Structure 1
């Protein structure tokens, strides 16, 4: 019993400490330092505490000794700075997948928050992929992280075939580094790589002024810097035909390559000729050995006995016969050399015919690919038309009578056009046909506890809000508000309150007469899906982590900082007065007339 009590007390102490720091962070009573971010036209101010900053960061520990009360950072934006301050005050590292993670990394380096810098650097390195490596490499020119740079270059080397089109944006210095990295690792400089390098060179030349002399000079410079490293002895006849299409190669270099191919063929012929000469020498050596042997035998016989004249004549004839045989052998050698010359000529003729045949095959394959592409495009267009017709047929099956029945008890949604918009956005007629109005503030009371009693653990939930200024807006979630922590964001599963991920959640605006805005649907950003809605018993409906709109304990008043986590309409920037007043006419001065929640 005592052990359980101690655990509960410790948990309560931690919660109270977190709440105290939260109140300190939000309360401006004792704040004695100002941080400004953004340019002068769109500047934002944060009120903070010198004592907290000096303890938590190396930069402010030194900077605040100057007895200064404010500082400006025009290069940082409001959201990134707020995220860093959340970490400084509350230790919150829930931002590791934020789209501003590189700017957070830059701020952590600037503020000398060493632990956070290591955490962010590790997270960045672990998430290097084909969509992020180029942006990381470019931004790291200023961040100067050796670990990030090595990771990016290794990723490029290992995935060159898949990402080479992205590499067209590298500058000359970075391309030089890339080639050096390949050389350091003894990578192959194959034809595919030089095809890419040739296209990169042409792109850079196209960016120069249209001056022939300057383009010619730059072309030679690029060749000397990049292509001069190419091992011409590794070129095959097939690759040589492709290299001739590279505009970057000078004609003299192509002639050198072609000459090396001819020399290679001549080497093959010379090798055959040397083999034949070697055989001739071997035969001559054998004949010489045989001749010497016979001569020795003859001398031995002469020394032992007096050979008869007939025997001597016979031996002489044998010697003459050997000499005749030698003449015949020389004749055979000459005939083989003539054959080798003919083989050399046939080989060159065959090579020229093969080149012509390959060019013809390439033309035929190109024609086949064009035909196949046209067939696929026609088939795809037909399928699109068929699907559109099918969709129109499905939509037409639901008439106006169904819409009016589904929203018959709504005090807010009365116009048929509004009902059609909700049907189009939710795109789930099964839900719409079975949903019920489970909560009405006018009917059930303006209290977040009553709202949670009816809405919690209901799954799909539609929330509609009407203000006293006749603004109508709301949101839809597939997951819904739940105290089942297994459905909460991973980092909140041991907390009292938590964010609930929902990739299909969206916010909508039905009535915005004050600003003359058309109805619109605004989805959750891909990088912010884990902050779709927020569960807290002291809050009513809360969309977005900041949030984009939320109601407090008595469902009054309402707040809206639209655009923090959900996509804004085109032409509107987050953090501006226009975004904050878009849904309800203002940031925090709007009053709720009615709240309705629908679920199954």
Structure 2
């Protein structure tokens, strides 16, 4: 594949090189051809025809080749069909003829002298050199500017090129205010002025006062040129000529193309008949009337629009008020509905709580004064987990931290030596958890671990909605660390060793810590000594606050 790419690159490079060589050869051939034809023109070999230019009495002879002239110029092709050895072109000078011949022979012509461009254009037309004519005309059009357009316009009078004339008219039109007193402007012929007026009419431009002022001055200057007449005849002829010119110019103007602002000034010009000026005046009046009508309509439309917008605004405001009232009404209805619902739900809950309390007191009187157990479902769970009807029928609440004090010694005094002990803890954040031991706590001042294979801890309520009340049994092999008793230093303590305790309350019955899972089985999916395990029972490892501790035993 790489070899193919390399071959293609080499082939393309060779092709490009060949093309460049061919172009260079073509340029060389063209250059040699021009040189050869130049040598033919400037040399004397094989010349078989003479052209005589300049004055007839002493013409200048230029020798040429008939075959080249007839092949390049339709004029010479027709002229040289006659059996003649020469032709006289006295209307052209030597330099002009040499320029044309250099173009005919080898396509070269000099434009160094721009003053002769018009003459060269005339010559190209005369000799029917259409391509040269097109080249020179473009050159002329590109050369016409503010400083020379009068010169080209006057030179064009014999040639009568429409393109050159229009280009000059455009510059006159663009710069009229600057050149209106220029003497060259007054040298325009009547025909040129008529064409200029028609030019402006075609462009649909408005004629301002300054143009008519120029026109009047041009007529006056033209009449001053009438010389060699007797004064009376001169005045008579001037009057006739003036009327004739007035008529010629007047017929060109369209009333719509004359500036209405200059109407009063136009009255001074004789070439506008009174009827024409009256028509303009009437048109001015009509235009003014129309302008007034348009203004009135504009004001009326504006007023209507403002009224319409104001009505829309009022309608919008009314809609906003209506929506606001509706919003307030709906909000009020919702608030009343929510309040009624809240009252109803509160009543239902209070009723349910009352029923539960009655049922709790009736069936489980030992929890009737509990600050923690308010839900009979919790009692049913505890009853299910402990699975000892004798315990439930005989147990009593032996300690309440709120009643008996947040003190570990008070707690030990109440519970030490009792068997089948149930401890329920509630935090300030409403977490409810605890533990149960079959063997109970015993008095010990130095601290002692107590073996209980039937001990368990439990969670009745926590911050996770997906966590239902659950029982967690002692791990196999950890039975010796089921509970710990220390009269002077600790309250309830379940599980542990080496400082890791599943539940531990200190001497003030506040959290030492809860590193759940050391000695008791964790729920599925939770690992010991992780944040999730540490926060499972009480919401955190050690920053929870105990609200109440209740202890039940036989």
**Normalising by the residue count of structure 1, what TM-score does the alignment of the two structures yield?**
0.39
Larger radius of gyration: 2
TM-score calculated relative to the size of structure 2: 0.41
